Amino acid sequence: MRRPDPPFAHRYGTWPALALGRVSIGGSKMAEPTKTATLSLDGKSYDLPVYSPTLGPDVVDIRKLYDQADVFTFDPGFTSTAACESAITFIDGDKGELLYRGYPIEDLANNCDFLEVCFLLINGDLPNATEKKDFENMVMHHTMVHEQMQFFLRGFRRDAHPMSVLTGLVGAMAAFYHDEIDYSEPHAREVAQIRLIAKMPTLVAMAYKYSVGQPFIYPDNSLSYTANFMRMMFATPCEEYKVNPVLVRALDRIFTLHADHEQNASTSTVRLCGSSGTNPFAAISAGIACLWGPAHGGANEACLQMLNEIQANGGVDKIHEFIAQVKDKNSSVRLMGFGHRVYKNFDPRAKLMRETCYEVLSELGLQDDPLFKLAMTLEKIALEDEYFVSRKLYPNVDFYSGIVQRALGIPTEMFTCIFALARTVGWIAQWEEMITDPEYKIGRPRQLYVGETTRKVPNISVRK
Ligand code: CMC
């Protein structure tokens, strides 16, 4: 018989209620339509309600279209499809604007720490001083993972990519934390959310320590969230670890800048996976798997590899040759860290990351680091080049975040794990919003079928 772990009762009694529901999150009723769009098809016309969002373009509601007109719509990359109603994050790509719950990313990055941003994303507004303290206390007292998780981790090969290990570890949390299993209960969801935010740094650091053959470092709950993560990553039992506040602030900012980004591929994956009613650990694990791809979270790793390659092939003197290759229509080489699907003016996260990059390199006395010099020269040349200017290609957050992470001592193959750690809060906020949405349904896209029409199975003796 399964014996449920009593993980928290002994320390805190019951879990104190978080401020979920302090402002209206999820659970909101869809606004009334503001206009009507008309679709004409085969001599008939159909009225479609149009909703006006608080920000962004109007949305045509096609939910009844199939019932009424017997047609589907076709939008494979979701380029014109709003898949859900959301009140969490807003991006205006033309203006270079990113808002979490209405607050500009610049304000948040300059005035709040990552745990305040986590509280904001989950609860809908920033914490006051008491809420901040309670939230920090709650998160920092759930940083430790079940001791048996390390034996599970030891089953992986040491040379496995840390993202494959992380996908497995987070999925396995469902096996280790099954005391709350009815996720229609708000309390169960709160517990899972705090567990994910609190334990993700521990799991990422464990995946790293395992890959380099060093002992795991247990969390130190007296430190801040980010300082504790850095200690778990870089301390060894042999020496005292000294926290450097400039570096902690830099990593904390990386977390803030990556915390959420609207309905991107991994977030949509978490929503789709979670829409079946599966447990949140499984849904977040699916998000991590999606994030791993080079077109998504893997881009900062690819950017640093590109810089290393240019450096190895001649450095600054070879930049013009490299840029010519990027501009050549017959080559598939891209300037990694440049361009964005949504931001066509500038990536607001890139501006902040650039600032942090200078701060960190100056703190570490690395301003003359050849790779940094190379990146800055490459940036200058590309920003003045007609090819990039005319296509509105600007540096994105990944152009600088790889350089910062490298300076902090984070190995390249861990970059996407850092991204996953930061994005976990966005994923769970979006998952919570979906579960509490009265319009919520299991995600089930339709298709434009182009296969065979109905045919009979021929006897095996006559098959070609
Ligand atoms: N280097 C060279 N040319 C580029 C680049 C680039 N990085 N990005 C776009 N272009 C060109 C592209 O060749 C095309 O030119 P043309 O019109 O002559 O055919 C034009 O710009 C438009 O490109 P696109 O592929 O239609 O643009 P997109 O919006 O679909 O692509 C992107 C966005 C991010 C995939 C792309 O810019 C890219 O591959 N960038 C490099 C990878 C990278 O840094 N990714 C990180 C994105 S930020 C992470 C995040 O937010 O999660």
Rg over alpha carbons for the chain, rounded to the nearest Å, is: 24
Q: Which of 268, 319, 327, 341 to mutate to test the pocket of ligand 1 (most atoms within 8 A of CB)?
A: 341
- Is 340 catalytic? The answer is yes
CA of 331 to the centre of ligand 1 (A): 14
Ligand 1 mean position to 300 CA, how many Å?
14
- The answer on pLDDT for 22 being more than 50 is no
- 349: Cβ below 6 Å to ligand 1? no
Annotated catalytic residue, options 113, 260, 347, 398: 398
Number of CB atoms found within 10 A of residue 69's CB: 16
For the cut 70, the answer to whether the pLDDT of residue 383 exceeds it is yes
Tell me which residue of 304, 280, 83, 97 sits closest to 200, measured CA to CA. 280
pLDDT 10s digits, 284-327 = 999 999 999 888 888 888 899 999 999 999 999 999 999 999 99
Q: What pLDDT is attached to residue 82?
A: 96
pLDDT of residue 375: 92
pLDDT of residue 449 exceeding 50, the answer is: yes
Share of the chain above pLDDT 90, in %: 84
With a cut of 90, say whether residue 417 has pLDDT above it.
Answer: yes
What's the pLDDT score for residue 452? Answer: 98
Model pLDDT, residue 345: 86
Query: Torsion over CA of 285, 287, 292 and 295, rounded to 10 degrees?
Result: 170
**Residue 378, ligand 1, Cβ within 6 A:** no
Which tens digits make up the pLDDT trace of 130-149?
A: 999 999 999 999 999 999 99
SS3 per-residue string spanning the chain: CCCCCCCCHHHHCCCCCCCCCCCCCCCCCCCCCCEEEEEEECCEEEEEEEECCCCCCCEECCCCHHHHHCCCCCCCCCCCCCCCCCCCEEEECCCCEEEECCEEHHHHHHHCCHHHHHHHHHHCCCCCHHHHHHHHHHHHCCCCCCCCHHHHHCCCCCCCCHHHHHHHHHHHHHHHCCCCCCCCCHHHHHHHHHHHHHHHHHHHHHHHHHHHCCCCCCCCCCCCHHHHHHHHHHCCCCCCCCCCHHHHHHHHHHHHHCCCCCCCHHHHHHHHHHCCCCCHHHHHHHHHHHHCCCCCCCHHHHHHHHHHHHHHCCHHHHHHHHHHHHHCCCCCCCCCCECCCCCCCCCHHHHHHHHHHHHHHHHCCCCCCHHHHHHHHHHHHHHHCHHHHHCCCCECHHHHHHHHHHHHCCCHHHHHHHHHHHHHHHHHHHHHHHHCCCCCCCCCCCCCCCCCCCCCCCCHHHCC
15 has a pLDDT exceeding 80: no
Least confident of 36-50, 172-186, 435-449: 172-186
Residue 362 is predicted with a pLDDT of 95
In angstroms, what is the span from residue 347 Cα to ligand 1's centroid?
13
Considering only residues 17 and 271, tell me which one the structure prediction assigns the higher pLDDT: 271
Candidate from 37-51, 233-247, 389-403, 424-438 with smallest mean pLDDT: 389-403
- Specify the pLDDT at position 30: 67
User: What percentage of the chain has pLDDT greater than the value 70?
Assistant: 94
Atom 4 of ligand 1: nearest residue by CA position = 334
What is the pLDDT, as a whole number, of residue 19? 44
| Cα atoms found within 13 Å of the Cα of residue 366, Cβ hemisphere only | 19
Q: What is the mean pLDDT of residues 149-165?
A: 96
Check residue 182 and give its pLDDT. 86
How much is the mean pLDDT over the chain?
91
At residue 29, the pLDDT reads: 55
At 27, is the pLDDT very low, low, confident or very high (cuts 50, 70, 90)? very low
Q: What is the mean pLDDT of residues 347-373?
A: 94
Residue 399 C-alpha to ligand 1 middle, in angstroms?
Answer: 13
pLDDT band for position 260 (cuts 50, 70, 90): very high
pLDDT of residue 210: 97
Q: What is the pLDDT of residues 419-442, one digit of tens each?
A: 999 999 999 999 999 999 998 999
Range scoring the smallest mean pLDDT among 97-101, 130-134, 436-440, 445-449: 436-440
Give 2's pLDDT tier (boundaries 50, 70, 90): very low
Cα dist from 419 to 163, 166, 256, 289, 298, whole Å: 10, 12, 10, 12, 9
* Ligand 1 contact, 393 CB (< 6 A): yes
Range of weakest confidence among 14-28, 59-73, 162-176, 357-371? 14-28
